A and B are shown apart, each in its own frame.
Chain A
Amino acid sequence: MSESSGAPQWLERGGLQQLLDELRAREYDVHGPVLRDGAIAFEPVVDTAELASGVHDVQEAGRYRLEPGDGGRTFAVVHGPAALKPFTFAPREPLLQVQMDGPGSSFECEPVLPDTGRVAVLGARPCDLAALAVQDRVFLGDRFPDPHYAARRENLLTIVVNCTRSVSTCFCTSMGTGPEARSAYDLALTEQDDGFVVRARSDAGREILGALALPEAEEAALDRERIDLEACRDGIDRALDTTDLRELLYENLSHARWDDVGERCLGCGNCTMVCPTCFCHDQRDEPELDGKASLRVRQWDSCFDPDHARIHGFDFRARVRDRYRQWLVHKLASWEDQFGTSGCVGCGRCLTWCPVGIDLTEEVAAIRGGGTA
């Protein structure tokens, strides 16, 4: 809870609607977790009654279920397949509009920048926030900041909900990203039976909190918060041992475990799509039939695609095994060389949403174990 400015405040359970109204009054398009097709998704919400309720999530490798019972909590579901990624790095978006008089003539290119308006996401998790920080480095941290990402990012307000519940696939404690928010946020909530402890950590967040004119959180609420977060932390038993992880992976590029996982992996790319930090994309040109205009479009791509590493007709990651190794070694090792941080935030989505339940913590443990699977 370091760096948060001002004393933590208290929002009554019924006051959540007030927060929504305040955000909407400030022209934020508010997205929150709603029930959708057996999971939760961030979708536009106007009324707190639209938020997912009455259920909690049970997650394990390759399996996600919502089960009855929310314990009276608004944010009882830890997370769904999508993190904040689609809000900043769109699954598919135009980059450039090309115009020309016809084949052979000169052409003009106009950038197409997104105009999303202000977006507030209520109910992001600390791991989602950590992933956003990683993506900020990827898209904005270099000499060539991505203007599309920047435009969306600038308009994004994050209202993170600290985790007082975990699922079996969570390992944020190994990655230092949870269960309480550590990366920059606008507002953070910690849910309790009768309300929320609220903190602001940005000017926008402070302004909103100021407008709500909330009382300071009582000492008892803060004590309870500490206990709840500690209990959540203690309840997370999945672990990824990060000791010298980068070196471990670099030294084991020929480990037999890669063959073993290559046999199980479908190469379908689901892990990369749900990963909140995976940023691979493909660009394609979509010419108009009249030959006078063409749109350059960017869309999510996966390093598991057979064409992803095909250069001049040669595929230097020809086998699924090679692609899994590339993904894992990049995520957990060479990401650090490239961006100065791990690419993994311990959200566990790649385990849950893998149709065959491949568990990266298990794969790393097998490699660390030194055996041959």
Chain B
Amino acid sequence: MSAVAPARPRLAVFKFASCDGCQLQLLNLEEELLALAERFEVAHFLEASSRVLEGPYDVVLVEGSITTAHDAERIRGIREQAGWLVAIGACATAGGIQHLRNTAAVEDWKREVYPHPEWIEVLETSTPISDHVRVDHEIHGCPVDKHEVLRVLTRSLLGALPDPPRGSVCVECKRRGQVCVTVARGIPCMGPVTRAGCGALCPSLGRDCYACFGPSRDADPAALANRFRELGLSPHDIARRFRGITGGDPVFRDAAQALEDSDG
């Protein structure tokens, strides 16, 4: 990002394989939307407006994973038009829940699912944006936290780098004064290895975290897996916890693989 941001940067939002939930988080910023549209020229945001302006764009938010050859080509074109490219959400940052197909043969499941598999033109894998082009920043979550999107955009106006939430979900959980579901109720929770950012939403509702923000930095899945075993989960069950929404992240993917291998 340039040190001095333009007075009214051009904002674009693009979508790949995804559910639209992350770009909807932008629209969910209801109270800030008008101010946002004042500070940014919304040049391309199909979920919000059919008005489409040509690039280049100063700030580009990209939702979704790359699953087709056409998309792989399209993201390269977007990168060329983008000053600062931000991948938003678990699909764009880790391949999304659709990464699950990476562990199976694509032709097999096409035949299982579709009456006309020959019509389905997809790549073997679902991969994050950063596997294809340079990504300047990633906002994690499924969906992303709308306040974090706003913080990132606001800071970009000041020429400031993002300052994402730090630590594990546990840190947010304790700041909220929540009672740990693992310690007090024996529920296996992914919080200790999951990146902060949701405000410990699930534990605050009395259930376990399922890691939709992906692994925290230096997460140690093996140590948590040992604890899950003590709580009665089989290696297979534990592997499934790691193969969730952000299971495409190498840290969780490798942890799941190791558990499956150990399970024979």
Residues of B within 8 A of A304 (CB): 167
Q: Pick the contact of A289 from B154, B182, B191 — CB < 8 Å?
A: B154
Residues of B within 8 A of A352 (CB): 183
Q: Number of residues in B with C-beta < 8 Å to the partner? A: 45
Tell me if A299 and B183 are in contact (CB < 8 A). Answer: no
Question: What distance in Å separates the Cβ of A319 from its nearest Cβ neighbour in chain B?
Answer: 8
Given the contacts A36-B179, A268-B193, A270-B174, A301 and B223 also touching, CB distance less than 8 Å: no
Residues of A within 8 A of B36 (CB): 289
Q: Interface readout for A22-54 with B: 1 if CB under 8 Å, 0 if not?
A: 000000000000001111010000000000000
Residues 262 to 304 of chain A near chain B (Cβ within 8 Å):
263-270, 273-274, 282, 284-291, 299-302, 304
Interface centre among B183, B191, B206, B217 (most CB of A within 10 A): B183
Tell me if B193 and A266 are in contact (CB < 8 A). Answer: yes
Which of B57-65, B136-144, B155-163 is the contact stretch?
A: B155-163
Q: Is B240 engaged at the interface, CB distance under 8 Å to the other chain?
A: no
Q: Give A306's nearest chain B residue, CB to CB.
A: B217
Cα(A145)–Cα(B178), bound, Å: 29
Cα(A305)–Cα(B170), bound, Å: 11
Which of A60-68, A130-138, A152-160, A201-209 is the contact stretch?
A: A60-68
Residues 166 to 194 of chain B near chain A (Cβ within 8 Å):
166-168, 170-171, 174-186, 189, 191-193
Cα(A41)–Cα(B160), bound, Å: 39
Q: Is B113 engaged at the interface, CB distance under 8 Å to the other chain?
A: no
Shortest Cβ-Cβ A-B pairs, 5 listed: A273-B174, A268-B192, A38-B184, A37-B179, A91-B175
Residues of B within 8 A of A62 (CB): 183, 227
Tell me if B192 and A266 are in contact (CB < 8 A). Answer: yes
Residues of A within 8 A of B176 (CB): 91
Q: Give B182's nearest chain A residue, CB to CB.
A: A355
Residues 321 to 373 of chain A near chain B (Cβ within 8 Å):
352-356
Question: What distance in Å separates the Cβ of A373 from its nearest Cβ neighbour in chain B?
Answer: 15
Q: Number of residues in A with C-beta < 8 Å to the partner? A: 50
Number of A-B contacts defined by CB within 8 Å = 132
Question: What distance in Å separates the Cβ of B264 from its nearest Cβ neighbour in chain A?
Answer: 24
Cα(A355)–Cα(B218), bound, Å: 17
Q: Is the interface of A mostly helix, strand, loop or mixed?
A: loop
Q: Give B168's nearest chain A residue, CB to CB.
A: A268
Q: Give B189's nearest chain A residue, CB to CB.
A: A355
Cα(A358)–Cα(B7), bound, Å: 52
Question: What distance in Å separates the Cβ of B178 from its nearest Cβ neighbour in chain A?
Answer: 7
Q: Pick the contact of A356 from B150, B158, B181, B223 — CB < 8 Å?
A: B223
Tell me if B154 and A301 are in contact (CB < 8 A). Answer: no
Residues 208 to 233 of chain A near chain B (Cβ within 8 Å):
none
Q: Give B180's nearest chain A residue, CB to CB.
A: A353
Q: Is B202 engaged at the interface, CB distance under 8 Å to the other chain?
A: no
Q: Is the interface of B mostly helix, strand, loop or mixed?
A: helix
Residues 76 to 98 of chain B near chain A (Cβ within 8 Å):
none
Residues of A within 8 A of B178 (CB): 37
Cα(A353)–Cα(B261), bound, Å: 31
Q: Is A111 engaged at the interface, CB distance under 8 Å to the other chain?
A: no
* 8 interchain pairs, CB-CB under 8 A: A37-B181, A268-B193, A287-B158, A288-B154, A289-B39, A291-B157, A320-B220, A355-B192
Tell me if A270 and B192 are in contact (CB < 8 A). Answer: yes
Tell me if B163 and A266 are in contact (CB < 8 A). Answer: no
Tell me if B179 and A274 are in contact (CB < 8 A). Answer: no
Tell me if B168 and A269 are in contact (CB < 8 A). Answer: yes
Q: Is A240 engaged at the interface, CB distance under 8 Å to the other chain?
A: no
Question: What distance in Å separates the Cβ of B246 from its nearest Cβ neighbour in chain A?
Answer: 17
Residues of A within 8 A of B167 (CB): 269, 301-302, 304-305
Q: Pick the contact of B177 from A41, A65, A267, A319 — CB < 8 Å?
A: A41
Residues of B within 8 A of A179 (CB): none
Which of A70-78, A79-87, A185-193 is the contact stretch?
A: A79-87
Residues of A within 8 A of B150 (CB): 289
Q: Is B102 engaged at the interface, CB distance under 8 Å to the other chain?
A: no
Residues 221 to 250 of chain B near chain A (Cβ within 8 Å):
223-224, 226-227
B: residues with CB less than 8 A from A are 32, 35-36, 39, 150-151, 153-155, 157-158, 160, 163, 166-168, 170-171, 174-186, 189, 191-193, 206, 216-220, 223-224, 226-227
Q: Give B171's nearest chain A residue, CB to CB.
A: A269
Cα(A41)–Cα(B179), bound, Å: 9
Q: Give A62's nearest chain B residue, CB to CB.
A: B183
Q: Is A14 engaged at the interface, CB distance under 8 Å to the other chain?
A: no
Tell me if B179 and A39 are in contact (CB < 8 A). Answer: yes
Q: Is A13 engaged at the interface, CB distance under 8 Å to the other chain?
A: no
Given the contacts A273-B171, A291-B157, A266 and B180 also touching, CB distance less than 8 Å: no
Q: Pick the contact of A37 from B182, B206, B217, B219 — CB < 8 Å?
A: B206
Q: Is A259 engaged at the interface, CB distance under 8 Å to the other chain?
A: no
Q: Give B150's nearest chain A residue, CB to CB.
A: A289
Q: Pick the contact of A284 from B154, B158, B163 — CB < 8 Å?
A: B163
Tell me if A355 and B170 are in contact (CB < 8 A). Answer: yes
Q: With contacts A80-B179, A301-B166, A355-B227 known, what are 16 further pairs, Cβ within 8 A?
A: A37-B184, A39-B184, A63-B186, A64-B180, A64-B183, A81-B174, A81-B180, A91-B176, A267-B218, A269-B168, A273-B174, A285-B163, A287-B158, A289-B39, A305-B166, A355-B182
Q: Give B29's nearest chain A residue, CB to CB.
A: A289
Q: Pick the contact of B218 from A274, A284, A286, A320 — CB < 8 Å?
A: A320
Given the contacts A288-B154, A320-B218, A356-B226, A305 and B171 also touching, CB distance less than 8 Å: yes
Question: What distance in Å separates the Cβ of A91 from its nearest Cβ neighbour in chain B?
Answer: 4
Interface centre among A269, A286, A320 (most CB of B within 10 A): A269
Tell me if A356 and B174 are in contact (CB < 8 A). Answer: no
